[in-house]
Amino acid sequence: MNNKPEISVIVTAYNAAGSIARCIGSILAQSFLDFELLILNDGSTDGTEEIIGRYDDPRIRYFHHPNQGVAYTRQRGLDLAQGRFSIFVDSDDWIDADMLEGMLQKQEETDADMVLCDLVEEFGDRRVYKRQDPGTTDSRVVRYKLLDELHAGMVNKLIRHSLYSQYDIRFLSGVNCCEDQFLLIRLMDHSLKLAYIEKAYYHYDKSFNEGSITNRWHERPVKEWLLLLQAMEPCFQDADARKAFDDYAAKRLYDATWAGADQEADYRQLYARYKACLDRAPLPLKKKLICRLRYAGLGSLIRLARQIRA
C-alpha cells in the first residue's frame, strides 16, 4: 500500500463490543486494497478495545481517547485521515465486500466530489431497501433534501477529502446528534460534483442502532438543538430551501419538548428564536400546541400526559 492511501475508512466506536468485529471484518474483506482503516475508540468501557486489538493488519490505524462524544471523535478521524477520499462506517454496521471498489470506480468515471449509494436498513428478521438517488446533480438542491428525503449520514458517501480543508468545514463542537447531517449540508452549500450508484453497499443495523444517540433524539440537551439550528440556518436562505428549514426547525422544536424540567429556560430560548418557523411549517396542529404549552412552562403536564399514554 502507498504511504498515502486512496481511501480512508473511518470507524468511531463507543461501547461497540457486540458489533465491532463484524464491522472491521467487512472492511478488511474489501476487494479494493488501497485503503487505510482508522478506528477511533471514544473511551469504551465494555471490551471494545480488546476486540480491536485482535486484528493485525498494516492498514489499521488505531486511536484511543477518553470519552468526548461522537462529534469530537469523528472530527479527529477526519483530521488524521490521509486518503484522497474518505468515508465513515458506523461501528454497529457493515459493508459489502465490493463497496470501496464500486464507489471509487464511479468516482473515476464521473470525476465526482461525492459519490452516493443506496443502503439497506437491517432489522434482524427483515430488511428495508433505502434508495438514495438525489434526483439531481445540483448539490445546493440536495442540501435541503438531506433535511428529510435522503439519509443524512456520512456512511453511504465517498467524499473527496480535500474539500474539508478547502472550505474549512468541521464537525460542530458540542453537538452529538445530527452532527453528520450538519457537515453534509455545509459541504452541499458549495457547488460539488455529485454521482450516484444504484446499489445498496451499506447495511445499517437498526436492531443495534435502536439505542443509539441518533435514535434517542428526545434525550438530547435542548442547547444542542439550538446550536445545530443556528449553525444550519445560514445555509437555507433562498425560498425553496427556507421552506425545508422551517419544517426541520419545527420538528426539532417538537423533539425538544421531551426534555426534562431542568431545561425549561433553554426551551424558551429555542422556541423564541424559531417560533416563526413553527408557525410556517406544516407540523400537525397537536404538535404545535405541545410546543406552545412547553414554552408556557407546562412541561410537567406534557410529560405526565405522555406517561399516561405510554
Summarize the confidence of residues 198-206 as an average pLDDT: 96
CATH of the domain at 109: 3.90.550.10
Q: What are the pLDDT digits (tens) for 248-284?
A: 999 999 999 998 889 999 999 999 999 999 999 999 9
- 233 and 187 share one domain: no
- 224 and 199 share one domain: no
**pLDDT at 1 > cutoff 90:** no
229 belongs to a structural domain: yes
- Last residue of one domain, picked from the residues 171, 189, 215: 215
- 193 and 66 share one domain: yes
**Residue 202 grid coordinates:** 451499506
Residue 88: the pLDDT is: 98
Beta bridge partners of 42: 65
**pLDDT at 182 > cutoff 70:** yes
Residue 214: the pLDDT is: 46
Residue 275: the pLDDT is: 97
Average pLDDT of the chain is 93
- 153 and 13 share one domain: yes
**Residue 198 grid coordinates:** 444504484
- Last residue of one domain, picked from the residues 178, 197, 215: 215
C-alpha span between 253 and 278 (Å, rounded) = 8
Max intra-chain CA distance, the chain: 61
- 18 and 58 share one domain: yes
Residue 310: the pLDDT is: 66
Summarize the confidence of residues 18-32 as an average pLDDT: 98
Residue 219: the pLDDT is: 67
- Last residue of one domain, picked from the residues 196, 215, 234: 215
Whether the CB-CB separation of 116 and 196 falls below 8 Å is answered with yes
**pLDDT at 67 > cutoff 80:** yes
- 287 and 144 share one domain: no
- 17 and 94 share one domain: yes
Residue 220: the pLDDT is: 80
**pLDDT at 215 > cutoff 70:** no
Give the residue numbers spanning the domain of 44: 7-215
Summarize the confidence of residues 89-97 as an average pLDDT: 97
Residue 218: band (very low, low, confident or very high) from pLDDT cuts 50, 70, 90 = low
Q: What are the pLDDT digits (tens) for 29-59?
A: 999 999 999 999 999 999 999 999 999 999 9
Q: What are the pLDDT digits (tens) for 108-165?
A: 999 999 999 999 999 989 999 999 999 998 898 899 899 989 999 999 999 999 999 9
Whether the CB-CB separation of 200 and 119 falls below 8 Å is answered with yes
Look at 23-27, 42-46, 71-75, 175-179 and tell me which has the smallest mean pLDDT.
175-179
171 belongs to a structural domain: yes
- 201 and 223 share one domain: no
Look at 29-43, 64-78, 212-226 and tell me which has the smallest mean pLDDT.
212-226
